[in-house]
Amino acid sequence: MTMADKSCSYFLDVLASKAPVPGGGGAAAMGGAIGMALSNMVGNLTVGKKKFADVEDEVKELLDQGYKIIEELKILVDKDAEVFEPLSKAYGLPKDTAEEAAHKAKVLEDCSKEACSVPMEIMRKSYAGIKIHQRMGQIGTKLAISDVGCGVAFLKAALVSGQLNVLINLGAIKDEQFIKETVAEMDHLVEEGSKIADETLKNVVDKFK
């Protein structure tokens, strides 16, 4: 059974414990999935209403995209724990000789690159989810518009949390090209995703004024 299949109470209890996983990455993935689910709730409340007949097909497409992202983020909750285990073991490798030190550095770099891959994917999914919220806030039922705001706030948090989990793993990596490419994509996702999320949240708040 995956972590995402267990109860919320179990997840929170383990998260709050001294257990190494789940950590920030798993929490980011779970938070992103929760945020995405909120947009889908708005979509499901929109479909079937005569008032929204002209956008129903688009809403259904957004729902399909949203369900896919939810499932992918649920998988990433456990994937984050999977890539952390070999990294944690790598830190315990001996480095008493030059050969051992070189081996440890190589293993740490390889494991750190793998550990970066999951939060980067969390960021990509969160960014895609933010864009879905942007559109859902424009065409979905206004009766649940606050849930668009809540959902996009969760996804922005997941986006930034993913960034932090990438940054902490870059320290053990010496591959300058890998760092350059990773940072470039990460910065783009955070800059554009945060901008869209903030605009979407502002549009939601403005509707209550």
pLDDT above 80: residue 197: yes
Enter the tokens of residue 24. 């920030």
The yes or no reply on domain 23-206 and CATH 3.40.190.10 is no
Ranges 1-10, 95-104, 190-199: which has the least confidence: 1-10
Q: What is the 3-state secondary structure (H, E, C) of 27-83?
A: HHHHHHHHHHHHHHHHHHHHCCCHHHHHHHHHHHHHHHHHHHHHHHHHHHHHHHHHH
Q: How far is CA 183 from the centre of its chain?
A: 16
pLDDT at 1: 61
CA distances to 9, 110, 112 from 13, rounded to whole Å, are 6, 31, 27
User: 24-28, 94-98, 175-179: which has the minimum mean pLDDT?
Assistant: 94-98
Whether the pLDDT of residue 119 is over 70: the answer is yes
Grade residue 163 by pLDDT with cuts at 50, 70 and 90.
Answer: very high
**Is the confidence at residue 4, as pLDDT, over 90?**
no
The alpha carbon of 77 is separated from its chain's Cα centroid by a whole number of angstroms, namely 9
pLDDT at 3 over 70: no
SS3 content of the chain, % helix, strand, coil (to 5): 85, 0, 15
Long-range contacts of 109-112 (CB under 8 A, 24+ apart): 109/172, 109/173, 109/174, 109/175, 111/83, 111/86, 111/87, 112/87, 112/169, 112/170, 112/171, 112/172, 112/173
Amino acid, single-letter form, for residue 31? G
Q: pLDDT (tens digit, 9 = 90+) per residue, 132-154?
A: 999 999 999 999 999 999 999 99
Q: Please return the burial class of 47, using the count of CB atoms within 10 Å of its CB with bins 0-12, 13-18 and 19+.
A: middle
pTM for this entry: 0.93
- 84: pLDDT confidence band, cut at 50, 70 and 90? confident
91 near 108, Cβ under 8 Å?
A: yes
